[in-house]
Amino acid sequence: MKQFIMKQFIFIILAIFLLGACSTYSAFETSESDKNNQETAIVQDSTKYELLILDIGFESWFATRNLRASAHSEWYYTNWNQIYVNEWNRLYLEGHPYFENYIDYSPYEEYGFDINYKLYNYFQFVEEKTGIKLVTR
């Protein structure tokens, strides 16, 4: 019985220390200006885009291409991407076995030069890899 009471006492003491350790201390609180800066950073981060390509072989294919990114303008890549995306999504909706996902690409969003350039090259990679011409030029 004495051991049981001692174990309970130790458990209660540990619980008190844990609760004390978990409570916030005013020295660690962020000021209102820091909170505003953090919120601003979150808003700014939410407008950035990232292109994630899971197709095996694309990164090595992309790295070996001798194409200069500046060979064309962002407008060029954006327009071609819109054409490619429309065709890709049409094939996806028809149930083509290679096109397993829908691409949500808006011509009204500014994705940036790097995203548009890489996406354009991904479509080139798909055409070369599969032999399926998405767009005839």
Same domain for 9 and 71? no
Number of domains in the chain: 2
67: left (phi over 0), alpha (psi -120 to 50) or beta: beta
pLDDT, residue 13, reads 56
Note whether residue 137 is domain-resident. Answer: no
Give the range of the structural domain holding residue 15, as residue numbers without chain letter.
2-46
pLDDT band at 68 (very low <50, low <70, confident <90, very high): confident
Share of the chain above pLDDT 70, in %: 65
pLDDT digits (tens, 9 = 90+) for 110-137: 999 999 999 999 999 999 999 999 988 7
Same domain for 70 and 117? yes
Same domain for 65 and 111? yes
> Cα–Cα distance between 114 and 121 in angstroms, integer?
11
What DSSP state is assigned to residue 67? -
- Please say whether the dihedral angle defined by the alpha carbons of residues 43, 44, 49 and 54, taken in this order, is positive or negative: negative
Question: Comparing C-alpha atoms, which of 61, 109, 58, 59 is closest to residue 85?
Answer: 109
- For the cut 80, the answer to whether the pLDDT of residue 106 exceeds it is yes
pLDDT, residue 62, reads 92
Two structure tokens written together for 91: 């094939």
